[in-house]
């Protein structure tokens, strides 16, 4: 993993995301960070039917002000983290991006080129486009997504807790997370008696295995995972996300939705 894409949304959480991205790249010896403040096209906000030249101009100005505010935060953070001008030579390449762009172009133009996407947890203040971008990052990029809690202010990746389930998403998440394991001080794997983790999933790693009671209730299963995160003071949770289709999740509940609704710890997720 050499390249990450940071997708900014809320101004009060921007620096948290940037700090996490810098920390991640340092852990894996990555070399590039793209920082995206995606301005929403007026047609995605109001649609063509409700759009006038005046309303489009107002929306564009609002989005420009939002991106400019984020750029101010980014510029200050960049100087503090990596220095300014010549001081940044031979360090991580950091790029600022603030195009007016649709979600499908975010994914095709930026998301699929990155090795990891870094985002806020879902937030009640998110616009419809931001909500769509979150789901698209998970389902359409084929990349892992690192969700960062608001105001997270400590290292992440020293104590990694990995929740095992024998699914394609979980195997992908575990494979993608291997690059982080060498730097970790402790790695724990949660598993249920009916789904033990095969030894070949994490070659060269001897994690501590922790048994969880199986549960048919998605919310209870997810809370059991979060309880173990808290009890073990883990600072990163690795999971395979959304193992069932949308209809099943709506009818039966989703453990992934539950975890993303409880931003207690950074979550490294792959579908």
3-class secondary structure per residue, 121-151: CCCCCCCHHHHHHHHHHHHCCCCCEEEECCC
pLDDT value at residue 254? 84
The tens digit of pLDDT for each residue in 187-234 reads 999 999 888 888 888 888 889 999 998 888 999 999 999 999 999 999
Name the domain count of the chain.
2
Report the largest interatomic distance among the alpha carbons of the chain, rounded to a whole angstrom. 62
262: which DSSP letter?
S
The pLDDT of 164-181, averaged and rounded, is 94
pTM of the model: 0.93
pLDDT value at residue 216? 86
Contact 145, 47 (CB under 8 A): no
**Dihedral class, residue 85 (left if φ above 0, else alpha if ψ from -120 to 50, else beta):** left
The pLDDT of 167-174, averaged and rounded, is 94
Domain termination residue (choose one: 101, 120, 148): 148
Task: Report which of 270, 259, 22, 4 is spatially closest to residue 157, judged by C-alpha positions.
Answer: 22
Task: Report which of 172, 167, 145, 157 is spatially closest to residue 24, judged by C-alpha positions.
Answer: 157
Residue 88 sits in a domain whose CATH number is 3.40.50.620
Q: Let me know if residue 144 belongs to a domain.
A: yes
Domain termination residue (choose one: 148, 177, 211): 148
pLDDT value at residue 48? 61
Domain termination residue (choose one: 148, 183, 201): 148
> Which residues constitute the domain of residue 37?
3-148
What percent helix, strand, coil does the chain show, rounded to 5?
45, 20, 35
| C-alpha–C-alpha distance, residues 253 and 244, integer Å | 10
């Amino acid at each position: 993993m050499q390249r990450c894409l940071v997708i900014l949304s809320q101004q009060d959480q921007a620096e948290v995301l940037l700090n996490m991205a810098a920390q991640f790249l340092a852990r894996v010896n990555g070399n590039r960070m793209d920082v995206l403040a995606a301005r929403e096209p007026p047609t995605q906000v109001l649609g063509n039917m409700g759009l006038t030249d005046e309303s489009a101009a107002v929306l564009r100005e609002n989005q420009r002000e939002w991106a400019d505010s984020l750029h101010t935060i980014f510029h200050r953070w960049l100087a503090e983290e990596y220095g300014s001008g010549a001081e940044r030579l031979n360090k991580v390449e950091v790029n600022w991006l603030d195009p007016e762009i649709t979600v499908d172009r975010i994914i095709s133009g930026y998301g699929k080129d990155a090795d990891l996407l870094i985002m806020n947890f879902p937030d009640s203040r998110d616009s419809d486009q931001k909500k769509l971008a979150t789901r698209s990052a998970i389902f359409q990029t084929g990349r892992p997504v690192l969700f960062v809690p608001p105001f997270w202010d400590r290292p992440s990746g020293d104590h990694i807790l990995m929740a095992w389930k024998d699914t394609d998403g979980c195997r992908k998440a575990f494979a993608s997370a291997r690059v982080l394991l060498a730097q970790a001080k402790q790695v724990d794997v949660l598993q249920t008696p009916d789904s033990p983790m095969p030894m070949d999933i994490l070659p060269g790693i001897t994690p501590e295995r922790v048994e969880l009671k199986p549960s048919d209730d998605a919310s209870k299963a997810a809370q059991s995972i979060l309880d173990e995160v808290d009890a073990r003071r883990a600072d990163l949770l690795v999971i395979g996300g959304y193992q069932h289709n949308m209809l099943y999740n709506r009818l039966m509940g989703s453990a992934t939705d539950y975890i993303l609704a409880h931003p207690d710890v950074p979550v490294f997720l792959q579908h």
